[in-house]
Amino acid sequence: MTDLPAYAELLSRTDAPPGSSWGLFGAGDQVGTLNLAGPEETRASAACVRTGEVFTLDYPLNAFDPPLSPTRSVPKHRMFSRHPDHRDDVIDGLCPQAATHLDGLRHRRHHVHGFYNATPDAEVAVDSDSLGIQHWAERGIVTRGLVLDVAASRNADGHPIDHARGEHLRAADLQSVLDHQGEQPRPGDVLLLHTGWASWYLGACPADRQHIRAERRFTGLDQSHEVLAWLWDHRFAAVVSDTYALEALPARPDSPFGRETDHGMMHQQLIALLGFALGELWRLRSLAAACTRDRRWTCMLTVKPLNLHGGVGSPANAIAIR
């Protein structure tokens, strides 16, 4: 699928919403950009395994307590027993997107054009199949992960990311890090964007974490067509970060996106129009440190979403193998 149109061409579409990938992966497509990570990409990713190091990329389900989003809850774990020799788990109040997670294609609709690939609103329901996370779960995700260590690059330049300010990372910033690392993306890669935000936040004292949540000022991607073009034109199968919303918040004041319901965010463009699989709050610090040590920025990545029929999102259940 390397012959897909460039993002600039998508913006001039008249047969589908401008800036969308609708129909490019098939009229009934249910998995979006994950189509780019097929059997050949899975096979090739095995070449990244050299040392046998394994990195789990999930934070604990209750790591972000209180939750960063006021509409999500931290799961409560309890056990029960039928007799003295038996134990079972129960997890109450599990919000699959409260810690390390994937946002599925149901997570955002475009305010004007609707859900990905012209999926009718009525089909996005608890008991329906369309765009459910089970489509990702049943195929699995095994491909090459490409670590883009923005934190290390900025530290080396003597200009650490100011997470308290909630920096906006532009396409030029991403390209600069990529050039510094000397690695070339391949179609079907999953971009693993390490900013250091999650470890910075979890290392803060409770009072500072409360202030961060109240301010709702988070490091992330800048809302721009340049960022969208950079991600799409590199043919990433998914885009993942260690930040709260992947995008910077608040969105830039002059954002051209999502003003109706998303306050300038470009989740509508990423998910509903382009069909991107997105990951947020991933645990990337140890993996990024290993990449820095040997100057090798790729890994074999496995991701297994929950097989929840009609699910909107899922814990990532992600492992990097080097």
Question: pLDDT tens track of the chain, all 322 residues?
Answer: 668 999 999 999 999 999 999 999 999 999 999 999 999 999 999 999 999 999 999 999 999 999 999 899 999 999 999 999 999 999 999 999 999 999 999 999 999 999 999 999 999 999 899 999 999 999 999 999 999 999 999 999 899 999 999 999 999 999 999 999 999 999 999 999 999 999 999 999 999 999 999 999 999 999 999 999 999 999 999 999 999 999 999 999 999 998 888 899 999 999 999 999 999 999 999 999 999 999 999 999 999 999 999 999 999 999 999 9
Tell me: do 79 and 179 sit in the same domain: no
The answer to whether residue 2 is domain-embedded is no
Tell me: do 278 and 144 sit in the same domain: yes
Tell me: do 143 and 85 sit in the same domain: no
Tell me: do 19 and 82 sit in the same domain: no
DSSP 124-158: -STT--TT-THHHHHH-EEEEEEEEEHHHHHHHTT
> For the CA atoms of 153, 56, 99, 145, what is the dihedral angle to 10 degrees?
50
Q: Which residues pair with 296 in a beta bridge?
A: none
pLDDT at 34: 98
Tell me: do 226 and 153 sit in the same domain: yes
> What CATH number does the domain containing 30 carry?
3.50.30.50
Q: Say if CB 115 and CB 132 are below 8 A apart.
A: no
Tell me: do 146 and 77 sit in the same domain: no
- Coil, helix or strand at residue 315: strand
- The contacts of residue 315 (CB under 8 Å, 6+ apart) are 58, 61, 96, 99, 100, 101, 102, 305, 306
Tell me: do 161 and 275 sit in the same domain: yes
Tell me 114's DSSP state.
B
Tell me: do 85 and 226 sit in the same domain: no
- State the pairing for strand pair 238-241/190-194: parallel
Q: Say if CB 160 and CB 207 are below 8 A apart.
A: no
- The contacts of residue 10 (CB under 8 Å, 6+ apart) are 18, 19, 20, 21, 232, 274
What amino acid is encoded at 290 in this protein? A
CA distance 215 to 132: 33
Count up the domains in the chain and report the number.
2
Tell me: do 250 and 117 sit in the same domain: yes
The answer to whether residue 282 is domain-embedded is yes
Tell me: do 202 and 130 sit in the same domain: yes
